[in-house]
Amino acid sequence: MEEMILTVDTQLACKPSDYRSDVKPVWCPGCGDYHVLMAFTRAFAQLAVPAEQIAVISGIGCSSRIPAYTNCYGFHGVHGRSLALASGLKVTRPDLTVVVASGDGDGYSIGGNHFLHACRRNIDMTYVVMDNRVYGMTKGQPSPTTEPDFDTAISPGGTGLSPFHPLVNALASGANFIARCFAGEPNETAAILVEAIRHPGFSFVEILSPCVTYRPDQKAWKDLVHPAPVGATNDPAKAARRIMTDDGFNIGILYRGERRPYQPKFGRQSLDPSELEQEFEI
Amino acid sequence: MSKTPGAPTVSTLADLFGAAYQIEIDAVERYKILADQMEIHNNPEMVDVFRDLARAEGIHAEEIRRQAGAIDVVEHGRRVGKWTKGESPEEADLGAAHYMMTPWHALQMALAGEKRALAFFTHIVETAKDQKVIKMAAEFVEEETEHVNLVHRLLRKYPVPPESWPQDPDPPVSQE
């Protein structure tokens, strides 16, 4: 029997499973991030980019574990600094497909400043934020996107603070592609990721990814999400109006900008590592 | 029966076999993922249940390959077996998983999947033009009906768990 199952598996070559590593995810069963991983691998397979030409960069948090679960090059970096790292990588290796993974805490709080400037710089990479409106890995503290009345042990009665609006900030800061997805729809998410990766410049994809452990109320998201009623616009003013007034569950590509991506021209094509080392010699 | 949203278009016998094969392969992969989750979260009973379900779907996939004869079901499955909306019918809902889930929950997942597959093949029987496709799809309807009945029979062995099933004596708690 086992032999037969293995035969079936072997014939799945060049499929999304080719982009998955042997490392078993440790996310809680029911977590939206499993679906996001699935969307990543489906998108990569659809793009047919070899795994060694993709770099998945992340910071810290549940969502940031994702590089280890792919077969691509990966860097599980410092809290909130994934975009800085990815920017450096992309400008020096423009041939790579760079995808950055983050969560709402890592991306909008600790890495909030990098987020704004990455949008502004418009380097050709894709930033995926798995937003569950809570710090899951550190056990349920409110994040920048948490609702003001979300009651936790650390914030009795809620924080009372207006949530950060990532899409509006991305648009205002210059992101060239903005989309919102729902983790529970991995095929639709994969299709949007494909477009985000193909679109030149900085693409920002916010994925609503439920935390079933600290935000079990988010299981209801699957009934709240709905496709965006109109297609993407390239007009920032129209996009701003739509994003500012939507209900937060509008799924789809909301903005496709036409700014030219930033790619610095280096005076020298390569640098011998020994030259760099000399600078640090004591 | 209404069309399953995002379903692949089935026009030929090869399309039908490809789609049927892909449905089973997708189910194998999904149950393996769930088995891995349960292994990581130390629910050994559910590891066995999901591995058994993966094995059963693997057998179905092999049966379809055998029935398809000279048709390359792997190739056709790749070509036509993509679901543009939602997921493949027998892919269990990952969002419904829980680290303390029981065999009853897994069988509910399986039942939902078999019913979705049944609806898919029934729609083909009702709408296909090619008589060969209709005849084969009708056979798949029979098989899926049998799978639905089988899950119902298995469910008799596993009664509905008490409401306290998700209660963890050492639960994850919000940090204070």
- CATH code of the domain in which B31 resides: 1.20.1260.10
Query: What does the pLDDT average to over A17-26?
Result: 94
Q: Sign of dihedral through CA atoms A42, A47, A53, A55?
A: negative
> From CA A207, how far away is CA B137, in angstroms rounded?
37
Does the CB of B137 have a partner CB in chain A at under 8 Å?
no
Domain count for chain B, please give it.
Answer: 1
- Among A12, A153, A222, select the one facing B176 at the smallest CB separation: A153
pLDDT at A11 over 70: no
In the structure encoding, which two tokens stand for residue B171, read together? 């639960």
* Chain Cα centroid distance, residue A240: 21
Q: Which letter does DSSP use for residue A259 in this model?
A: P
Interface touch A30/B36, C-beta < 8 Å: no
Chain A positions in Cβ-Cβ contact with residue B42 (cut-off 8 Å)? none
- Please report, in tens digits, the pLDDT of each residue of chain B (176 residues total): 446 778 888 999 999 999 999 999 999 999 999 999 999 999 999 999 999 999 999 999 999 999 999 999 998 888 887 888 888 999 999 999 999 999 999 999 999 999 999 999 999 999 999 999 999 999 999 999 999 999 999 999 998 999 999 999 888 776 65
Q: What gap in Å lies between CA A1 and CA B17, rounded to an integer?
A: 22
Specify the length of chain B in residues: 176
C-alpha dihedral, A145 to A148 to A151 to A155, nearest 10°: 90
* pTM, 2 dp: 0.91
With respect to residue B6, please indicate whether it lies within any of the assigned structural domains: no
Q: In what order do the strands lie in the sheet with A226-227?
A: A73-76, A54-58, A97-103, A125-131, A202-208, A177-182, A250-256, A226-227
Subunit contact A30:B54, Cβ cutoff 8 A:
no
Check B28 against A185: CB less than 8 A apart: no
In a domain, B49, yes or no: yes
Confidence of residue A274 (pLDDT cuts 50, 70, 90): confident
SS in 3 state form for B125-163?
Answer: HHHCCCHHHHHHHHHHHHHHHHHHHHHHHHHHHCCCCCC
For A129: left if phi > 0, alpha if psi spans -120 to 50, otherwise beta; the answer is beta
**Interface A:B, Cβ pairs < 8 A:** 92
Q: Does the distance separating the beta carbons of A34 and B175 come in below 8 Å?
A: no
- What's the DSSP call for residue A180? E
d(CA A258, CA A260): 6
Burial of residue A16 (CB within 10 Å: 0-12, 13-18, 19+) is buried
Burial category of B73 from C-beta neighbours within 10 Å (exposed 0-12, middle 13-18, buried 19 and up): buried
Q: Say if CB A100 and CB A127 are below 8 A apart.
A: yes
Task: Please report the sign of the dihedral spanned by the C-alpha atoms of residue B105, residue B111, residue B114, residue B120.
Answer: negative
Instruction: Mention every residue, 6+ apart, whose C-beta is less than 8 A from residue A117.
Output: A83, A173
Strand A177-182 relative to strand A73-76, pairing: unpaired
Q: Give the nearest chain A residue to B34 (CA atoms).
A: A29
Q: From the list B39, B54, B98, which residue is nearest A30 (CB)? A: B98
The 8 Å CB, 24+ separation contacts for A233-242 are A234/A258, A236/A171, A239/A171, A239/A178, A240/A168, A240/A171, A240/A172
**Chain A residues within 8 A of B74 when measuring between CB atoms:** 11
> Residue A276: which pLDDT band, with cuts at 50, 70 and 90?
confident
Does A164 score more than 70 pLDDT?
A: yes
**Nearest residue of chain A to residue B33 (CA atoms):** A24
Tens digits of residue pLDDT in A215-265: 999 999 999 999 998 999 999 999 999 999 999 999 999 999 999 999 988
- Name residue A253's beta-bridge partners: A179
In a domain, B64, yes or no: yes
| pLDDT in the model for residue A13 | 47
ipTM above threshold 0.85: yes
Residue range of the domain that includes B57: 13-86+99-157
Does B125 map to a domain?
yes
CA gap B114, B149 in Å, rounded: 10
Q: What is the pLDDT of residue A254?
A: 97
Residues of A with CB below 8 A from B75's CB? Answer: none
Domains of chain A in start order, with CATH, are 13-279 (3.40.50.970)
What was the pLDDT predicted at B8?
A: 87
Name A227's bridge partners. A251
Given a cut of 60, whether residue A24 has pLDDT beyond it is yes
Give the best residue of B49, B65, B94, B168 to mutate against chain A (max A CB count within 10 A).
B94
Which residue from B55, B86, B94 is facing A5, i.e. has the nearest CB? B55
Percent of all residues in chain A with a pLDDT value above 90, rounded to a whole number: 84
Per residue in A83-134, pLDDT (tens digit) is 999 999 999 999 999 999 999 999 999 999 999 999 999 999 999 999 999 9
* CA-based nearest residue in chain A for residue B61: A8
Chain B interface test: which of A5, A36, A41, A135 (most B C-beta within 10 Å): A5
Does any domain span residue B175? no
For position A215, what pLDDT does the model report? 94
Which member of A27, A34, A139 has the closest CB to residue B172?
A139
- Yes or no, beta carbons of B58 and A140 under 8 Å apart: no
Residues of A whose CB is below 8 A from B109: none
pLDDT at residue B176 in the model: 52
Q: Are the Cβ atoms of A187 and B87 closer than 8 angstroms?
A: yes
Q: Which residues of A are less than 8 Å from B176 in CB distance? A: 153-154
Antiparallel, parallel or unpaired: β A250-256 and A73-76: unpaired
Q: Which residue of B has its CA nearest to A31?
A: B95
Please report the pLDDT score of residue A14 as a whole number. 61
Burial (CB count within 10 angstroms: exposed 0-12, middle 13-18, buried 19+), residue B149: exposed
C-beta atoms surrounding A126 within 10 Å: 25
Mean pLDDT, residues A171-194: 96
Min CA distance, A219 vs chain B (Å)?
Answer: 8
Question: Does residue B51 belong to the interface with chain A, where contact is any CB pair within 8 Å?
Answer: no
* Closest chain B residue by Cα to residue A45: B78
B61 contacts A8? CB cut-off 8 A = yes
Q: Is residue B22 part of a domain?
A: yes
Query: What is the average per-residue pLDDT within A136-162?
Result: 93
Average confidence score pLDDT of chain A: 92
Question: Which chain A residues have any C-beta within 8 angstroms of a chain B C-beta?
Answer: 1, 4-5, 7-8, 11-12, 15, 17, 24-30, 32, 34-35, 38, 138-141, 152-154, 184-188, 191, 210, 212-214, 219, 222
